[in-house]
Amino acid sequence: MEKTQEIPITSLKQNSRGIIAHLDLPLAERGKLMEMGLTEGTEVILRHRAPFGDPYMLELRGYMLALRRDLIERIYIRPV
Q: Does some domain include residue 35?
A: yes
The structural domain count of the chain equals: 1
Domain that holds residue 75: 7-79
pLDDT in tens, 19-70: 999 999 999 999 999 999 999 999 999 999 988 878 999 999 999 999 999 9
pLDDT in tens, 18-30: 999 999 999 999 9
Q: Does some domain include residue 1?
A: no
Q: Does some domain include residue 38?
A: yes
- CA separation (Å) from 45 to 2, 3, 13, 59, 68? 24, 21, 9, 5, 16
Q: Does some domain include residue 2?
A: no
Q: What is this structure's pTM?
A: 0.86
The pair phi, psi for residue 30, each rounded to 5°, is -60, -40
CATH at residue 67: 2.30.30.90
Q: Are 8 and 22 in contact (CB under 8 A)?
A: no
3-class secondary structure, 42: coil
